[in-house]
Amino acid sequence: MSVRVAVAGASGYAGGELLRLLVGHPQVEIGALTASTSAGSSLGEHQPHLPMLAERVIEPTTTQTLAGHDVVFLALPHGASGEIAAALPQDVLVVDCGADHRLSDPAAWAEFYGGGYAGSWPYGLPELMLGDGSRQRDRLRGARRIAVPGCYPTAVSLALAPGFAAGLLGPDVVVVAASGTSGAGKSLRPNLIGSEVMGSMSPYGVGGVHRHTPEMEQNLALSAGGPVQVSFTPTLAPMSRGILATCTAPLAATAHEADPDVVRAVWQKAYADEPFVSVLPSGRWPRTADTLGANTVHLQVVLDPRTRRVIATVAIDNLTKGTAGGAIQSANLALGLPETLGLPLAGLAP
Ligand SMILES: NC(=O)c1ccc[n+]([C@@H]2O[C@H](COP(=O)([O-])OP(=O)(O)OC[C@H]3O[C@@H](n4cnc5c(N)ncnc54)[C@H](OP(=O)(O)O)[C@@H]3O)[C@@H](O)[C@H]2O)c1
């Protein structure tokens, strides 16, 4: 049995990565490919790495072009998906890679995004540990609406959730993360052109204003069973893909005497059965290259014995596990397919 899938935003980075993975998915038939300004042109003009779809013509993104599919992936700018999703039938699986349906707090949406609040959908991070001992995947089976996490929240939430779920960490998180330029999408901006980015790194969204901050706090609060604050500083790195995040939190007052082996064991146990998450052997550190093109999360955790802070470093590919791979993983769960179907485990290093 094949499921018929449409991709809206097919000319963009997230749409291109969805299609790269979907052409290798054994139970998918690719239907409509839609976008905005590129409607009428061939997909090959925008995604030349997908020769098997090169002759397909991009259609406008309307409820008519998206009708008649079992699954609709939306890879549109935030704000563009709410109206389209609302017009699609309830029995169609709609998987939104944008931010419109991620936040459960309308006030957080108003503060960080603004505009109309479209409500929240089941959150597509299957491995996320929740305070009651369950995982987020239990909420995705059979879902017909899924909000795909942001790329930074995927990395940061998976890096720290085990410590919060185990009651090991205090709620004062500091994250500094580097992202490749594809995290900002394909549209032209002067700060993203090659001569600005090559050979240079720079922070942006400094001072608690990055839009992914409330999403990280929302996820970690679910793991902790109480509020968590995140101070988040993103940086732009001279690479096309990849996120490397360094996430720290103090040991909770009740766990202040925990030793490095106890800390490590918590993360190892949390991810022992997770096919996409690897806690690296002691002394090895995550590298973005090892996760490129793969739906994987590489992480390492240590205790800084002097500051009594736990440091979790994590690498993902922002377009694979951080967007399209995560989206397909959640869609597999919603459709009752094996969670790992069609998703690569091997990276691209060097
Ligand atoms: N890039 C990442 O690493 C990443 C990670 C996680 C989540 N996401 C999310 O995924 C979504 C897409 O991101 P992206 O990086 O792929 O952006 P992108 O490269 O700029 O692509 C945007 C796509 O949306 C289409 N589009 C723009 N405005 C539209 C409208 N009003 N109606 C219909 N289609 C419209 C564009 O079509 P035309 O080219 O025809 O104009 C293009 O296909 C965003 O919500 C983003 O936050 C991205």
Using CA atoms, how far residue 25 sits from 73, 325, 332, in Å, is 14, 11, 10
| Ligand 1 centroid, distance to 349 Cα (angstroms) | 27
**Which band of pLDDT confidence, cut at 50, 70 and 90, is reported for residue 341?**
very high
Using the predicted structure, report yes or no on whether residue 147 has a pLDDT greater than 90.
Answer: yes
Tell me if residue 151 is catalytic: yes
- Mean pLDDT over 269-278 rounds to 98
| Whether residue 175 is found in the same domain as residue 115 | no
Catalytic pick among 10, 72, 128, 151: 151
Same domain, residue pair 123 and 177? no
Same domain, 121 and 263: no
* pLDDT value of residue 350: 86
Which pLDDT value is given to residue 327?
98
Residues with CB under 6 A from ligand 1: 9-15, 35-38, 61, 75-78, 80, 97-99, 150-151, 182-183, 185-187, 318-319, 322-323
Query: Does 122 share its domain with 234?
Result: no
Q: Assess if residue 179 is contained within a domain.
A: yes
Does residue 343 lie in a domain region?
Answer: no
Q: Are residues 139 and 235 in the same domain?
A: no
For residue 307, tell me if it sits in a domain.
yes
In a domain, 341, yes or no: no
Ligand 1 atom with minimal separation from the 58 CA: 40
Q: For the chain, what is the domain count?
A: 2
Per-residue confidence (pLDDT) for residue 25, from 0 to 100: 98
Distance (Å) from CA 13 to ligand 1 centroid: 7
Same domain? For 235 and 156 the reply is yes
**10 CA from centroid of ligand 1 (Å):** 8
Pair 272, 173 in one domain = yes
Q: What average pLDDT does range 339-348 have in this prediction?
A: 97
CA atoms of 325 and 186, how far apart (whole Å): 19
252: in domain: yes
Tokens of 304: 């800084």
| Residues 225 and 191 both lie in one domain | yes
182/295 same-domain check = yes
Average pLDDT of the residues in 7-35: 98
Q: Which residues of 272-291 are buried (b: 16+ CB within 10 A; e: fewer)?
A: eebebbbbbeeeeebbbbbb
pLDDT in tens, 191-236: 899 999 999 999 999 999 999 999 999 999 999 999 999 999 999 9
Q: Is the dihedral of CA 73, 52, 186, 291 positive or negative?
A: positive
Task: State whether 171 and 139 are in the same domain.
Answer: no
**Residue 163 falls inside a structural domain:** yes
For the cut 90, the answer to whether the pLDDT of residue 1 exceeds it is no
CATH number, domain at 237?
Answer: 3.30.360.10
The answer to whether residue 193 is domain-embedded is yes
Taking the centre of ligand 1 as the mean of its atom positions, its distance from the CA of residue 346, in whole angstroms, is: 26
DSSP E strands in the chain: the ranges are 3-8, 28-35, 59-60, 71-74, 93-96, 145-147, 172-179, 202-203, 229-236, 243-250, 277-279, 297-304, 309-316
Question: Does residue 297 share a domain with residue 183?
Answer: yes
Residues 183 and 303 in one domain: yes
Angle at Cα 124 formed by Cα 119 and Cα 130, nearest 5°? 95
Range of the domain at 308: 152-318
Which residue type occupies 263?
V
CA atoms of 258 and 308, how far apart (whole Å): 9
